[in-house]
Structure formats: structure tokens, C-alpha cells
Amino acid sequence: MPSRLSLPAPAGARAVSGRHRAAGPGEVGRTHIAALDGLRGVAVAAVLLFHAGHLRGGFLGVDLFFVLSGFLITGLLLGEATGRGRIGLAAFWGRRARRLLPALVCVVVATVLATWAWGSTEQLRFALDDTPWVGAQMVNWHYISEQIGYWNASDTRVFAHLWSIGVEWQFYLVWPLVVAVAARGRWGERIVASLAGAGSLVSLALTVSLGAAVDTTRAYEGTDTRAAALLLGALVATAPVRDLVRRVPRRAADLVCLTLGCGLAVAWAVTEGEKAPLLFQGGLFLHSLTAAVLIVLMAQVPGTWAARIAGGRLPRRLGELSYSLYLWHWPVYLLLLPRLSALGGWGATLVAIGISLVAAAVTQRFVEDPVRFRAGWARGRRGALAVVAVALAGAVLWATVPEPVPGAGTVDVDQLR
């Protein structure tokens, strides 16, 4: 999952520390709040530990990503609507593509090559099958239509984690259109808030209905069911909620943030995936609502201890790497962890995380940042051409990789879960 899955600060901008002023009207999504970077860092750490088998409920970190994305994207859209009187949709989608596609393309190409070299026959076959759907940002619906259970079949698929990136992209295509129409006029933000709240409740109803099935992949990976988290984030980015939260005294905000943070930590520690009886009966929704309230308190109440802690150097730096780190970690785990069994569970995990961090840092330094900040080679059409060239190389690679022979090789993946 998604998303860094949020909007970055402009080149050279200084991150706002935990002791920041509250974001004013139209500033949510433009003001860079270090605490939100830190929350991304905590979320990606939870996902990494979950996929290595060390944190049962760490998959809920993806929901925190979703809420953050809904909050920041909606704040930016509303800020543009307030400041300019309209939303430049083409420019918005262009920024999203420039921010997210280059790293994704590079990771997909490198993963296909690595799976060809070191993966099992089954892993390579599934990687080639999934790649076009990843390129179309529809891999979540591919897994749903093929009835590929998230909870029991992802160990053979190097792109299994990209379902959440597909959900984010689909949200980015639809929600800005809604905001562009609804945010017009004096009551625009109230209308957006109403739509986000109503949409999250509809999404909850769908989750409850679909979550009763034997295979919960449809409820877990569907864009409509996971929209609740994104829309709750969008809801708390609107003026009615921001204005209400600004009235909360700092001491009260600290107490609430502590309570909510402990609640999230407990959920991540004890929730056992689809085995959790209430997960699809409101549990995911409650988790996302908790995250949304925590986020808006950190963004709107200046100087809370929660924001200072989350905005510390380590979680903030991890959050800045979170997008590339999320992209890299699962292929690294799948291809590497079975070969590190001699190091033991935690030893193998630390090595795999270390390699993922290095890959993420290199990707950020040489791919993400140059394209985002318009380095010389990435300015104008050259950056787009470079990404297209890598994508075409990936398409050629996908078309020319030999069809794997069934039974040619296997990899032990027992320790991945």
C-alpha cells in the first residue's frame, strides 16, 4: 500500500516540526507536517513486521496509509478550490503520476528480472500473469476476479502487495472529480464533508455484507469496500471538522491522541487477519475512524506531544522512504527470506528489511526525487520519456521472458507468514 503516499512539500521546503501552527483554510495538504511523515513511518514498519510474521495485525498499517492519503489529497484539492476557484484536474493527475509512477515502474521491472533469476517457476508464472494488471492499476480486481485469496495465496505472488496501490490510484481518478464539482460555492466544503461521510457509511455497509463470505478477498481488496478509510481521511480534511478540532485544548488533545495511539497499537498487536471475528463487521471502519481522528488532531492542534513524538527524526525519515520501501519489501521478502533461514526468524527479517531500506533509499535518491523536483534529466518531456522508456523496456521484458515450465523449481515460503 498505498502511499510516501501523500503529497510532498515543494523542493527545498522545510518540514514543519511537531511544534507547528494549525493548518489554516486551504492549507491541509500544502503545509508539510512532520508528524504525518512519522505516522507513515509507523505504518510501513507495521506492514514490514506483519509480512515477516512478527506482528499479527500489522496489515492494518495499510489502512493508516489510506486515511493519510484521503486526508492530504482532499486537503490539497480543497485548498486549490478555495485559492483558485477551481481544481486543475489534469495538473493534479499529472503530479500524481510524476510522484508515483517512476518508482513503481522501476520496481516492477527489477522484480520481474529478479524473479526470473531467483524465483520459483510458480512465482515467475504468476509475476508474468499479474504484471499487465499492475500496469493498468487494477491488480486488486484481478485478484478478486481470479479468487486469489489474499490471506492464503500471496506467498507465490511477488506483486501481491500492490493491490493497495491499485486502490489508491482508482481513488485518485474518481474522488477529485467529485470534489471539483461539489466544492464550488459557499457551502462547498460542507457538501464535500457530507459526501465523504455518506460514502464511508455506504462503504462500511458493503464491507459488512461482503465480509460474510468464506473468501474475504473481495471485502478486503475491493476499491468500494476500502474507500471507507480514504473517505474518512477526506472527511476530517474538510473545514467543518477542522474548525471543530481547533477548539480542542492542547492537553485534551494530548490525552485523546494517547488513547487513540494506544488503541491502534493494541489492534495491530492482537488482530489476526481474517480470523478476527469483527474485522469485516465494523472493525476496519473503527480502526480507520480512530486513525482519522488522530491525524486531524495532530494536524490542527499545535504542539501536542503526540505530534512531537511522531515527528521525530527516525519515524519521519522512515515515512519519507515509505512509498519505495513498501514497493520493494515484499519482492525482497519473497525471494530472499527463504534463503536466510540459517539466520533465524529475526535475523533473516533484519537482513531483508536492511536490503529493502537500501533499495528504497536508492530509488528515492535517483528516481523519485529527480522526477518530483525536476532535476535536469527529468525536466519537461525528458522525465516523461525516461519513464516511458523504462516502461517499454519492461513490456519487452514481459513479452520475451520464457514461459516457465511447471514443476521446474520451488521455493520454501513457510517462514513468510
Residue 293 lies in a domain: yes
298 located within any domain: yes
Would you say residue 65 lies in a domain?
yes
Q: Whose grid coordinates read 495465496?
A: 153
Asked whether residue 275 is domain-assigned, the answer is yes
Please give the pLDDT value at position 201.
98
Q: What is the pLDDT of residue 347?
A: 95
pLDDT of residue 400: 76
pLDDT in tens, 140-164: 999 999 888 777 666 789 999 999 9
Domain hosting residue 70, numbered range: 34-401
The listed range with the strongest mean pLDDT (21-30, 125-134, 408-417) is: 125-134
Name which of 4-8, 20-24, 97-101 the model is least confident about.
4-8
Q: What is the mean pLDDT of residues 267-294?
A: 92
**Three cell numbers written together for 32:** 508539510
Which range among 23-27, 196-200, 272-276 has the greatest average pLDDT? Answer: 196-200
Whether 379 maps to a domain, the answer reads yes
Local confidence band at 28 (pLDDT 50, 70, 90 cut-offs): low
Q: Is residue 191 one of the residues assigned to a domain?
A: yes
27 falls within a domain: no
* Sequence-separated (6 or more) residues with CB below 8 Å from residue 280: 207, 208, 210, 211, 212, 216, 219, 220, 274
Listed in sequence order, the residues at least 6 apart from 208 whose beta carbon sits closer than 8 Å to its beta carbon are: 280, 281, 282
pTM above 0.85, yes or no: yes
**Distance separating alpha carbons of residues 64 and 304, to the nearest angstrom:** 20
CA distance linking residue 82 with residue 26, whole number of Å: 6
At 149, the amino acid letter reads: G
Q: Indicate the number of domains in the chain.
A: 1
Question: How confident is the model over 60-65, as a mean pLDDT?
Answer: 97
CB atoms within 10 A of CB 239: 17
pLDDT at 204: 98
Residue 376 is which amino acid?
G
User: Which segments of 212-343 does DSSP mark as H helices, in order?
Assistant: 217-221, 223-235, 239-245, 250-270, 284-300, 305-310, 313-320, 322-336
Contact assessment for residue 326 and residue 103, using Cβ atoms and an 8 Å cutoff? no
Reported as a pLDDT band with limits 50, 70 and 90, residue 273 is: confident
pLDDT of amino acid 335: 95
Res 6 pLDDT > 50 = no
Give tens-digit pLDDT for 176-196: 999 999 998 889 999 999 999
Domain contains 10 = no
